[in-house]
Structure 1
Amino acid sequence: MTPHHLWALAAAHAVRDARTRLAHLATLDHRRATDHHLQAAALLRSPTYGTRHAIGGHGDPTCGSLLLDTRPTRDTTWADLYRRSTDRIDWLASTLRCNQGPTVGRILAAIPALSPGTARIVARHLVDEDVWVRAAVRLAPAREPLDGPTPPTCPACRCRSTLHVQTAGPADTWTVICVGSRQPGQPHQPCLCTGQGCRCGMEGAVEGVAHIWPRAAVLGAVGGAR
């Protein structure tokens, strides 16, 4: 599997986790809006508090005053964002002619069979979507430093403390990336593959692509670091 495929899979897992958070917020917001709407309707329609409906001879509410307002509640902001995200993911899935299934799940299933060039484009779309959703819900990127008793060294650039684990999705799908290095007074230096023969050791290495490895491969290389 090429680095393009690994980036696409990692981005798909990340955006699925981020959308789960967005869906949760949309559900909570909708429940709050619905509860508030029902409470307000009961209050405004109560004869005791001055309903505008007709009242029976003994102050009993008529059938008209007992009807609840059946107008739908206003769409919440989170629901709107979730719908927009779903539309974009569905568009990507339809472009890839994915099988029917869960919104992001069918893209995940299709990625391994994509050509490297298509996987690269899919990865860019999914990364953009993940960044957009996480910014909306204020969710940090799903990654953490790869540490251990001794900070591991990047197989490619040989820098220490630059490896991070991308932790979205099941643990057996996690990947490791190198975030590059920065020397004092110097610009950030990304860790990019040099193609076939690169020290990264990746099968299907692609020149110019940011380094990424399956987590299991790096665990074996650093000997016990998580």
Structure 2
Amino acid sequence: MTSLHHQHADAVAATLDAALWQLDAHAVMEARAIADLADAAADPIRSPTWGRRHALGGHGDPVGDAILGLGGRIRRNRYADLSREVTEQLDGVARHLPAPLGWTAPLTRIRDAIPAMTTHAAGRTTLLLDRLNGRIRRQLRIGTGLDHLAGLECPACRDRLVSAYTAAPATVICRCDHCRCTGPGCHCRLPGAVVGAPHVWVRARAVAGAIPTNTPH
């Protein structure tokens, strides 16, 4: 049976994948901006970014000001650096997994391997992917990748901090910090219950078992 850790790992992997696509898009835009600054530094009189400028620079000379503010060197592409770091960490995990035919992206290999992982491995994978996902989203300021589901209560703690993953909308999670599964016999009554796992379940089950928000605890 697939455990809560497996369900969570799969949803977080999809969310990380969506974040990586946005990170790569930012890296491309940043590379173009850096290239424009490099062109401006190479030709301080004629700038491809700002057009013809005064040779003395100074106030109203945004390219010159930007370059001087960088200590005379063009800035690094922080988005490309982060993408490279995250990919290296994912590759460190993927290289220990069964290798498919041909080259496959590290995150894809991890996602494909999740169903066959042990419960412990799935839980550890979830922690890693969630940490990387959070790091990217904080850098890009794009939110958590979760949509709050108003009017639904967690089957275990009855709190209303229930959200669905935007990249995996069929998966619902309780975001209450103290809400963790106690294993078989837990009040959540979810299939695949495992001690210490966050409560994760299929959205259709959450909607079907929705409790009105005016229901007293």
Q: Same fold (TM over 0.5)?
A: yes
Structure 1 residue 213 corresponds to structure 2 residue 201: yes
Identity of aligned residues (%): 33
For residue 199 of structure 1, report the CA deviation from its aligned partner: 2.6
Letter of the 1:200 counterpart: C
1:32 lines up with 2:28 in the alignment: no
Q: Which residue of 1 aligns with 2:171?
A: 175
Shift of 1:104: 1.6
Q: Distance in 1 between matches of 2:82 and 2:186?
A: 42
Please state if 1:113 is matched with 2:116: yes
TM-score, scaled to structure 1: 0.71
Shift of 1:164: 1.4
Aligned pairs, number:
182
Amino acid at match of 1:110: A
Structure 2: 5+ residue stretches without partners: 47-73, 212-217
In 2, are the aligned partners of 1:176 and 1:218 still within 8 Å (CA)?
A: yes
Q: 1:44 to 1:98 in 2, by over 3 A?
A: farther
Note the residue ranges of structure 1 that are not aligned, 5 or more in a row.
Answer: 46-72, 181-188
For 1:120, the aligned partner's letter is: G
Q: CA deviation at 1:40?
A: 4.5
The Cα of 1:87 is off from its aligned counterpart by 0.8
- The equivalent of 2:187 in structure 1 is 199
TM-score for both structures, normalised by structure 2: 0.74
What CA distance in whole angstroms lies between the structure 1 residues aligned with 2:210 and 2:116? 30
RMSD: 2.4
The 2-side partners of 1:139 and 1:16 are apart by: 14
Give the AA of the match of 2:183: G
1:158 to partner: Cα distance: 2.5
Measured after TM superposition, the shift of residue 75 of structure 1 is 4.8
Larger radius of gyration: 1
How far off its partner does 1:98 sit? 4.4
State the partner residue of 1:16. 17
- Over residues 76-127 of structure 1, what are the superposed CA-to-partner deviations in whole Å (9 max), with x where a residue is unaligned? 2221111111111111111223434133222111111111111111111111
